[in-house]
Structure 1
Amino acid sequence: MTIRAKHLVGLLLAPLLGACLLAGCDSGPGGDDNDTSQSPRQRERARQVADAWRGSAAATAWSKGYYPMADAVQAPESGWHSKADERASENRNFTLRGELPAATAAKGKVGWPSGDTLTRPLWGAEQAYQSFALDDSTGARLTVTGAKLGTTTIATSRGTATVPAWLFTLDGYDTPLKRVAVTPSKLPRSPIGSTAQGSAGGLWSIPKLAGTAADGRSVTVEAAHGACDDGPVVRALETDESVVLYASVTGAKSGPCTAQMLMQDMKVELHEPLGDRVLLDAVTGRPVPYGQPGGPSPSWS
C-alpha cells in the first residue's frame, strides 16, 4: 500500500473510530456464530452502566482522586536474588531485625506530570511494614533491617504518579523494597446499583484487575467460571469516558457438576488505550479494583 493510500485509509477510519467511542463499541472475542456467551441483555447492561457514569458526580470524583492501579509493594530494583527470596516475598514472609521510624508527617503529596497534586493521609513505617509482612509461614524468609521515607512512582487511574513511599532496607540487597505510603482515595458511590450474578443473560462480576499493558491497549483481569464449562469470556464496551467490562461463561454443560469457583486471568484487547477512562464492571456498576481489598495493594481505601 502506498503512503498516500495509507493516509487515505487513516482519514477514512479516524471518524469511524471516533464515532465508535462516542456511541460505544464492543471489543473482545468475536466472529464466532456459535458463541452464545454474549447476549443483547449483557450488552444492554454494559450500556446502562456506561450511561450512568457519563458526566456523573462519581465520574468527577474519580477523575480527581488517587486510585493506584499497580502493586503498592515494589521489589528491589535489582530484582530478587533467588527463587527462594521471590517465594518469601510472595508468601509475605519477612522478619524485622532492627527498629523502624516511630514518627512521621500526617499527610503526603501525590503528584502527576500534569502538575496536579493531591494530599492524602500518610502511613507510618510500622503500618506499612505490617501491610506486606505476615510473618506466619515456614520456609524462606527476607530480613528487613530498617526504613526511611522517600518516593516512588506508581500507575494510577490518572496516569503515573510520584508518591511518598517507605524504603525498607533488606539484608543482602543494595536497593530497598518500596511500599507506597499514602492511602488511596475513598471510592465514590456508583451512580447505578449492582445486578445479581448470572442476571442479564448470564453476567458474572469481575473481581480484580491484574494489570494494564504498557501501551494501554489491553487489560488483564481475573474472571470466574465453573468446573463444567469451557471457561470465561470477557468483553468491553468502550466509550470516550469509560470502558465497561462484561463477563460470562461459554460452553456450560448440563448435568451433575462439582460446586467450585475457578479463577482465570483474561486479556481484553481495547480499540483505544485505556488512558484515564474509568474501567467498570457491568455487574457491580463500580470500578474494577486492582488487588484485594484486604491485601497490600488495594485500589482504594
Structure 2
Amino acid sequence: MSLTVAGCGPEGVRTASDAPAGKDVLVTEGAGRPDGAGARRAAEVAKAWAGSAAERAWREGYRPLDQAEWLPPDAFRSGEDKAAFASGHLDLATQLPASGPDGPEGTVTWPDGSSAKRPLLSARQVFDGIVRNKSACQGADCNGRLRVTGVKAATRTLATSRGRATLPVWEFTIEGYAQPFAYPAVAPDQPPRSDRPAPRIDGVSSAGGWNGLSSDGLVLNVGVSHGSCVKALPGQVYETKDVVVLIGRVGQLPKGTMCNADLRVTPVQFRLSRPLGTRTVLDAVTGDPMVLMTPGAVAR
C-alpha cells in the first residue's frame, strides 16, 4: 500500500491516502492537515469541549477506559474460548454469592482520595448480563462453551476517564484458566451527551463506540456507521494535548452499484501521532465522548 506522509504539528489531522486492498478494516496512517469540513468540525468540537459542563461531568464521573484489564493474562487459550466469552456462552456450575462486600452501594476510589458511591450490582445481575447482552457468535469457533466454577467478591484497579481507580468487582473462575475473569460490581456513569442535533456534513459519518486500543496506544479500532449506498474511507484524527477527535469519512460507491437503505458499521483503525494516554476520545459529528465498548478487544 502506498502512503503519503507529511509533517504534523502538535495539533492536526492524520489520514491515509488509501485503504489496504482486500481488507475489511480501513487503516489510518501517514500525516497531513486537510482543509475539509470534517477537519473544521473536529476543531470546533475540540474547542467546545475544553472547559465545558460535559468535560467536567466526564472528569468527575466513573467511566472505565480499558476493559481488557478485566481479562486474566492467559486469556484466551483458543479461538473457540474467545468466541464463547464474547457470545456469553457461559455455564454456571457454582452457587452465586447472595450479596457483595459493601452492602447496597459500592465505592470507587481514586489515588487523590476522591471517591464516588455507585449502586452495587449483584453477582446474579452481572452473570445474567454477561449471558444476555453479548453479540451473536459467527464463524467456525462458535461451538464452545465456558464453565464458571467459582464466583467471589474482590477489588481491582483499572484505568478510568479520571485516572486509575480502585473498585469492587466480581471474580469469575472459569474452568481451565489459572486466574479469574473480573467484572465490575458497579455500573459506570453514562457519558455526557449533547442536547443539540448533530450537523449533517457531506462525506463525514459518526464514529460509534471504539472497541479496541493497540498495546502501544497509537491505534484505535472504531466502528463507523454509514448507509449502504456509500463506503467507509480511511478515518482522520484531529489531535490536541487533551482530546482526540475521530472523523469518520465516507465516499460514494461507483455509479450503477445496487444499494438500499440499510445502515452498516465498518471497522476502521484510527492511527494517532502519539499514544492516547489519558486524552478523551470525541466523535467529530456528535461532539460526544467515546469509551471502549467490548471487553477483550485490545490488541496484544
**Residue segments in structure 1 that go unaligned for 5+ positions in a row:** 1-12, 32-37
Identity percentage over the alignment? Answer: 34
Aligned to 1:42: 38
User: Shift of the alpha carbon at 1:102?
Assistant: 1.0
User: Shift of the alpha carbon at 1:208?
Assistant: 1.7
Residues 174 and 243 (structure 1 numbering): CA distance in 2 closer, same or farther, change over 3 Å? closer
Aligned to 1:236: 237
Aligned to 1:119: 117
1:290 is aligned, of 289, 292, 297, to 292
User: Shift of the alpha carbon at 1:93?
Assistant: 0.8
1:106 alignment partner AA: P
1:11-67 deviations in Å (ceiling 9; x for gaps): xx9xx94xx44xxx2222369xxxxxx662222222222222121111111112211
Q: Does 1:139 align with 2:143?
A: yes
- Normalized per residue, which structure has more helix? 1
- What does 1:36-185 correspond to in 2, within 5 Å? 40-71=36-67, 74-104=70-100, 105-113=103-111, 115-134=113-132, 139-185=143-189
Q: TM-score, normalised by structure 2?
A: 0.75
Residues 194 and 49 (structure 1 numbering): CA distance in 2 closer, same or farther, change over 3 Å? farther
User: Shift of the alpha carbon at 1:107?
Assistant: 2.3
Aligned to 1:7: none
The separation in 2 between residues aligned to 1:169 and 1:185, in whole angstroms, is 27
Residues 86 and 41 (structure 1 numbering): CA distance in 2 closer, same or farther, change over 3 Å? closer
1:92-147 deviations in Å (ceiling 9; x for gaps): 11111231111222222333455544332221110111121239988322222331
- Normalized per residue, which structure has more strand? 2
Q: Does 1:29 align with 2:39?
A: no
Contact 2:69/2:158 (CA < 8 Å) preserved in 1?
no
Residues 214 and 256 (structure 1 numbering): CA distance in 2 closer, same or farther, change over 3 Å? closer
The separation in 2 between residues aligned to 1:26 and 1:114, in whole angstroms, is 34
Aligned to 2:280: 278
Aligned to 2:22: none
The separation in 2 between residues aligned to 1:69 and 1:266, in whole angstroms, is 19
Q: Does 1:265 align with 2:267?
A: yes
* Larger CA Rg, structure 1 vs 2: 1
Residues 214 and 120 (structure 1 numbering): CA distance in 2 closer, same or farther, change over 3 Å? farther
Aligned to 2:191: 187
Q: TM-score, normalised by structure 1?
A: 0.75
The separation in 2 between residues aligned to 1:238 and 1:142, in whole angstroms, is 41
Contact 2:38/2:247 (CA < 8 Å) preserved in 1?
yes
The separation in 2 between residues aligned to 1:217 and 1:244, in whole angstroms, is 14
